[in-house]
Structure 1
Amino acid sequence: MTGNSIASILTGQHKSKAKISKTSSQTSQALSTPTLKREPKQGWRSHGSHCLTYTLDTKLTAPVKVAAFDLDDTLITTKSGSKFGRGSFDWKFKFDVPRIFTKLQAENYTIVIFSNQAAVVNAPDSKSLKILTTKLDDIFKHLEKPVIYYASTRKSRKEKSQHDVNLYTLFRKPNTGMFSQFLQDYQLTEEMLDRNSSFFVGDAAGRPVDFSDSDLKFAENLKLKFFTPEEYFPSMKHVTNGDG
């Protein structure tokens, strides 16, 4: 991705392959509207109703290698065997994720999870939001070091306007709003990214058994190397030195 294309993402002018109805002013407002609240240095933070993040109190320095992952059916699956988790603790790792993340962090990768969470209402009194943040807090307990997390969320159906719908769409994979927000939150530019070493892993790859190709298109829109979980996790030889 060129410097100009990164600049267009940050100003809300980037157009992904999924056609959406939006304006550059909406995107710019979504990514840069100031807030009067004091934001946490590390912990949970919402960018409006359309984006939830677990923020790390860290400054990323060039070259930044990004190891990006989807969450559900990529890093975790349900303990119960249900398609969707039944509460905050109905999850288990699909692979030896803690070991792999530790290895990536030792190789100076910045790990970022990008997750579509269409069922989560991003509001202070939201039950679905509490379930999600409790689940991620539990997952983080099993990791040696914390990781960055972004989720595309939504407003209550009773409250949302067309503006909210546009932001919701912009921040859902395969569109690149979450990645743009990540760049802004950590003050990153194209020149600071080691794009040749960066990659994205997700299960929605457009295969006959997949529900969509949103993860594959997300990676394509960002010009990142893409792997399915089955390709990436057994060896890690695609992106790391050593034997995995």
Structure 2
Amino acid sequence: MTHVMRNAVFPFPSSPVSKRIHFFQNSKPPMASSSSSSMKVEYAKSNPSSCKLCASEAVVDINFSVSDDKNKYKDATLLPKWKAFQTVIFLERDDGLHDSSKIAAFDFDGCLAKTDVRRVGADAWSLMYPSIPDKLQSLYNDGFKLVIFTNESNIERWKNRRQVAVDSKIGRLNNFIENVKVPIQVFIACGLSKSSRGQAAIKEDDPFRKPKPGMWQLMKQHFNSGISIDMDQSFYVGDAAGRGSDHSDADIKFAEAIGLKFYVPEDYF
């Protein structure tokens, strides 16, 4: 894709690693305020070798059939409408959900919902921003399909309390969707990364765990009715942008690997 850029190139503020972010003219985020900065990770132009790596990672052929999904994740039983495929738990089909060429994708914790790793339970969350329900409803009315891509390694790590971790995560997502009253597709990556603490040595990062693009590819290849995705209109919002106060850079790297416009939630909402 070819984009017209302004001359200015800015690094992420307070980022421990310099990340080149280009600001694009006439590219406002859907439903964002006029003061919000529209950002797209232009890794292709700033780092061609990195782009090549991202592109190769993004092209992942995932073999999936209905017979592959399960009602349990390992020894944990899933709530109705939720299924498991390999290391992913997904919401089978939310009522009213329409597949689309326009994808509005979001992280969950720290983006749509305020949560605390020390608390568990379906009710242990609150809306991150009061504008979220109206913004999501407007996107849905404008023909976007809303999708949540979220990591949840506790489901894999808590081997003796896996059911608690599953019920807590799925319960929060169910309650969030009920609260905002908009159909949303959801994918939860339960696998671990090589850097996971307190685990036996892991040779490779789980291919579905962000920043790997596996969840996106699963949605694109098997959960969008074969509709081609318009990458110019689609975007991703997440809080893990590699800034000084962020817990990681998984979200911005996820957007890079796919080639999506990226926004941090405080700018988007």
Shift in CA distance, 86/60, structure 1 to aligned 2, threshold 3 Å: closer
- Structure with higher Rg: it is 2
What residue in structure 1 maps to residue 83 of structure 2?
45
Question: Could you give the per-residue CA deviations for residues 34-68 of structure 1, whole angstroms, max 9, x where no partner exists?
Answer: 626788xx9211102x1011122678566x10000
What residue in structure 1 maps to residue 221 of structure 2?
184
Q: CA deviation at 1:16?
A: 3.6
The letter for the 2-side match of 1:215 is: D
Shift in CA distance, 15/46, structure 1 to aligned 2, threshold 3 Å: farther
32, 54, 57: which is aligned to 2:64?
32
What residue in structure 2 maps to residue 91 of structure 1?
125
C-alpha distance in 2, partners of 1:150/1:109?
17
SS of 1:67's equivalent in the other structure is strand
Structure 2 stretches lacking a partner, 5+ long? 2-51, 72-79, 193-198
C-alpha distance in 1, partners of 2:212/2:69?
28
The letter for the 1-side match of 2:139 is: L
C-alpha distance in 2, partners of 1:37/1:193?
24
Question: Is the Cα contact below 8 Å between 2:208 and 2:214 reproduced in 1?
Answer: yes
What residue in structure 1 maps to residue 174 of structure 2?
137
Trace 1:1-244 onto structure 2 (pairs within 5 A): 16=54, 28=61, 31-32=63-64, 35=67, 43-48=81-86, 50-56=87-93, 64-78=101-115, 82-95=116-129, 96-121=131-156, 126-154=163-191, 166=204, 169-187=206-224, 192-233=228-269
What residue in structure 2 maps to residue 236 of structure 1?
none
What is the alpha-carbon root mean square deviation over aligned residues? 3.6
Q: CA deviation at 1:152?
A: 0.3
Q: CA deviation at 1:32?
A: 2.4
Q: CA deviation at 1:204?
A: 0.5
Percent of pairs with identical residues: 27
The letter for the 1-side match of 2:260 is: L
Q: CA deviation at 1:83?
A: 4.7
> What is the TM-score with the length of structure 2 in the denominator?
0.64
The letter for the 2-side match of 1:226 is: F
> What is the TM-score with the length of structure 1 in the denominator?
0.69
Structure 1 stretches lacking a partner, 5+ long? 2-13, 234-244
Query: Following superposition, which runs of at least 4 residues in structure 1 exceed 4 angstroms of deviation?
Result: 36-39, 57-62
The letter for the 1-side match of 2:268 is: Y
Residues matched between the structures, number: 202
The letter for the 2-side match of 1:136 is: L
